[in-house]
Structure formats: structure tokens, C-alpha cells
Chain A
Amino acid sequence: MDIEVAEERNDEVLVLLPVGRLDSGNARSFESVVMDHVSSGERRLVVDFSRLDFISSSGMRVLLIAAKALKAGEGTLVLCSMKNHIEEVFRISGFDRIIPIKESREAALAASS
């Protein structure tokens, strides 16, 4: 199952907007989208959660893989615009301490520059 991921560019920063659900059924598809960008040399990624309603650990795993790969290459991954229930999952997982989470797209872009 493929996930819809909108993409927007802001100078050096590529913003990805996954739409709907990011779950065990489509996490592999999301991993391909994200890691293809990392492999092709993107160094500053923002994942904007404003259009995402659901995430499970299968989807979070992809973000962890991407954050590790980007950090190893002196890049950055910043997340933003999470709904409260999703942000709580990131907090319980301790992801908020290893991947920056910003309230707004603007703040995420500022943190990426």
C-alpha cells in the first residue's frame, strides 16, 4: 500500500507532508520516499505532520532511520505541526529528545537553516 506524500521545497529544505495514516500497511512505502531523498543527497528534511492523522511505531521507525542517516551526513531532520495525540506518542517513545519537534512549519524551517 502506497502513502501519499506531498513535497514542497523551501530553498535548501525539502518539506515532506505525509497524508492520512502512516501505519504498518504503508510504512515501507514511506521509507522508500524518504530514503530515496536522503540517498539522492537531500540534507535538510522537514516532515510536516499537519495532514497526518495517525502514526504507529512502523512509521516512527522510518523517521528514526532517516534521522540517523541524516545526522551521519551532517544533515538535519525536523518534524513539525503534530496533532496533540501524535505528539504524545513521540513523547512516550522518547523521540522528542532525539528528533526536534516544532509547533509550526516556520519554526521547523528556522531550525533547519
Chain B
Amino acid sequence: MADELDVTIPARLSEVRELSGMVEAFGDANGLPDPKVFVINLALDELITNTVTHGLEDKADAEIRIRMQVDGGTLILVMEDNGQPFDPTQDTNADVTSSLEERAIGGLGLHLVKSFADRITYEFVGGRNRLTMEHDLARAAE
């Protein structure tokens, strides 16, 4: 599994932990720096949480496919699910500035995903949400 990770998991929060181990193994095999492995696992936790919490509507056969590969100096992560159509790139900006008393609880996850990715695109193809995130690896080494 040195070059590519391609795994399909049931859409459940309990799957996130095992997936993070696979991402760490992929990172080791590809020489990814630990901070990059961390932000990938952070993004997967946030996106899977989002899909499981909002996008499934009790769909029993819901599944999430994750593919990762390193292409040149870029890490490409593609996540697909068969939940409700949802474009996370269009999500409104999270509240990151108001006071403690005023600060909204929630909405932060997608903000983190977008903040760490260098490029992020969304498509709805063949009845599935597909989110493609690119992380430039040079930036992590700075």
C-alpha cells in the first residue's frame, strides 16, 4: 500500500479510529511529515462526522470511500459518499472571532478542513458526493 490508499468503510463514527491507523501507515510508507498526517486525519474526522451526522438520513447502506495518493509534491485525498448531496465548500464561514460568551458551538470542522487544504473541489457524480482535497507537501516542510 505504499503508493495508494483505497478503502471503503461503513459510514459510522466508530470507523474513524481504524482509518486513522491506515492513514498513519500510508504516511510512514510515503515519508509524509507527521504534521501532514495529522491534518489529513483531522480532515477525515471532520468530514466523516459531517457525513454521518447530517448526510445520511438513516441510510442503512451508507458508505464512504477514501483514496489517497502522492503525486509529485502533492498529496491528493478523495472522499466519496452516497449520502445526501452536500457541498462543504459552500458552507458558510464559521465564527472564529466573537467573544467566549457569544461564540457559537459547532460549525468549526469544515473551517478546519478548508483552512488546511491548499485546494478543495466538490462534485456530485453518479449519485455520490465527491470531495477532492490537495495538500502541497512542500508547505509542510517549511
Measuring CB to CB, which residues of chain A are less than 8 angstroms from any residue of chain B?
Answer: 1, 21, 23-25, 54, 56-58, 60-61, 64-65, 67-68, 71, 84-85, 89, 92-94, 97-99
Q: Which of A64, A67, A92 contacts B115 (CB 8 A)?
A: A92
Distance in Å from the Cβ of A110 to the closest Cβ of chain B? 20
A57 touches B109 (CB 8 A): yes
Residues of B within 8 A of A99 (CB): 100
Q: Which of B13, B35, B112 contacts A93 (CB 8 A)?
A: B112
Number of B residues with CB within 8 Å of any CB on chain A: 31
B106 touches A61 (CB 8 A): yes
Residues of B within 8 A of A61 (CB): 105-106, 108
Residue of A nearest to B97 (CB): A94
Residue of A nearest to B14 (CB): A25
A62 CA / B64 CA spacing, docked (Å): 26
Most A-side CB within 10 Å, residue of B100, B109, B111: B100
Residue of B nearest to A71 (CB): B100
Tell which of B38-46, B70-78, B120-128, B130-138 binds the partner: B38-46
> Secondary structure of the B side of the interface?
helix
Distance in Å from the Cβ of B18 to the closest Cβ of chain A? 10
Residues of A within 8 A of B35 (CB): 84-85
- 9 A–B pairs (Cβ distance < 8 Å), ordered by A: A57-B109, A64-B103, A65-B105, A68-B100, A68-B101, A68-B103, A92-B111, A93-B96, A98-B103
Q: How many A-B residue pairs have CB under 8 A?
A: 75
Known: A56-B45, A64-B105. A24 touches B38 (CB 8 A): no
Distance in Å from the Cβ of A45 to the closest Cβ of chain B? 14
Q: Which of B17, B46, B111 contacts A1 (CB 8 A)?
A: B17
B16 touches A24 (CB 8 A): yes
| B27-73 interface (Cβ within 8 A of A) | 34-35, 38-39, 41-42, 45-46, 48-49
Residues of A within 8 A of B97 (CB): 94, 97
B17 touches A25 (CB 8 A): yes
